[in-house]
Chain A
């Protein structure tokens, strides 16, 4: 499956990926409303770590054998058989954060329900990748061409 890969050598620490992730996962889908006014405030699923010297944007790996899915105590966290996307079923999730406690990469965010990257399931390319000004995020098939 295609996954997002972060290239720390290219990351500018501008955090635009976070801004666009928030609007992509907001109710309004509007960049200003989503980042300033919406209640509850949308949570970015991608996080830039590091500083101006060295940084990188971390996203869910959509693991082949995901620990978060195995540990989920309600069956809310699942890996889609067809697409490989690991996502949360919000009707089932109780927000216990057991998934967060086992993700070895730190890719789940706290919220009323678990919040995580869904690779922008309904779009061709995730919003963070599309909007990174320096191509520090790429969306590619392992071993495949950069998109």
Chain B
């Protein structure tokens, strides 16, 4: 069997490794347009601020791939897929496949702004290459402006604040981290970040145009007319699924690549898709959307790899789960957190700098937002994933969850791994 995987990141590597587990002899080729071996994308902001070295950013040792019989072709963009001939074209080469997996991830979404495109100091913050360029060029004199106050923009801002003179964040929404925080919690997080990171926020704002000298941006103008000096502009408004190859090949695409939610098979039986480029079905509300997070990409890669090599691992539960920290402030979120429907209720527990919001649907937990109160969060996550009826629990959920919230039978299973000792 010949397996081709396009994209060598969370989903692509997980897919390749799963294939190798189930098919010892198949030929596995992973093609990536990036010039690096698989690395941790989320680590790039830590690399920028110097918390991890470049050597610590790679997911596996370089000798691992040869030893595992996984061929990683770097610096090579796949241009097209020929579904009839079962080949992909990359550079001057044509690779044939029996099974193909698209793990092409995300591409940046850049809103229209005057005089920004093509400027050398306007960069996205999605890969190690851009992080490397920023690290080389930014210093104590740099005044950075980040467009986008979501997870990626805020991580970029945090990294930059350690090396730059000033960091301004421009966000369209009236609050920061709009996808994971509600209004109240966003306010306190914002205050904390302003104090710790000396970051200035411009909320409810957009950048309309940039001022420049030659091919460098020197300032940006906000919607309200305010002008900010700018030596480095980071474009981090958002990402979209990278579906160009799939679309050109005539696969079904609806925002992301459409797959069977269990097997990750696309509308072509020999082609699979996994990760940020694919549509997930959220188990909690049945919604079809892209869940652009690392653990989801890995799970989908594993399922796709298994199915491609004749195994039977399926996706049984997809939901977002994310943990992130800003200057030591921990934010942990899972499940449905921005739901309006009346069928959901929530409970907020505050004490000191910690904030905990649990979201329920009837007697089930369906989501949480934990700020500085992440202890044992995984127990909540497992209650969400297993759709546990909270009425069957013996303890209360508002404190730190522990094994004693479960009745004896379940507790024993958890403590002894269901062993009879």
Residues of A within 8 A of B (CB): 3, 5-8, 47, 49-50, 54, 56, 58, 61, 67, 70-71, 73-75, 91-92, 94-98, 100-110, 138, 140, 142-143, 146
Contacts and interface: CB of A to CB of B under 8 A. Distances in A.
B100 to A, nearest CB: 23
Contacts of B362: none
Given A73-B43, A91-B56, A146-B421, 15 more contacts: A8-B412, A49-B402, A50-B404, A58-B403, A61-B417, A70-B14, A70-B302, A74-B42, A74-B57, A74-B59, A75-B59, A95-B325, A102-B381, A104-B378, A104-B382
20 contacts: A3-B417, A5-B417, A8-B412, A58-B402, A67-B378, A74-B40, A74-B52, A92-B52, A96-B42, A97-B325, A97-B330, A97-B374, A98-B323, A100-B323, A104-B381, A104-B385, A106-B378, A106-B379, A138-B421, A142-B417
Nearest to A96: B323
B298 A106 contact: no
A100 B60 contact: no
Contact of A75 (B60, B302, B378): B60
A73 B415 contact: no
Contacts of B401: 106
A109 B322 CA distance: 16
Contacts of B52: 74, 91-92, 94
Contact of A101 (B43, B53, B332, B415): B332
A137 to B, nearest CB: 10
B339 interface: no
B360 interface: no
Given A71-B294, A73-B40, A96-B42, A101 B404 contact: no
A101 B322 contact: yes
B377 A101 contact: yes
A70 B377 CA distance: 16
Nearest to A64: B417
Contact of A100 (B43, B374, B382, B402): B374
Contacts of B385: 104
A92 B38 CA distance: 14
A45 B376 CA distance: 12
B294 A73 contact: yes
A5 B415 CA distance: 7
The winner among A47, A70, A75, A142 for most chain B CB atoms within 10 A is A75
Interface string B384-421: 01000000000000000111100000011011110101
Nearest to B58: A75
Contacts of B185: none
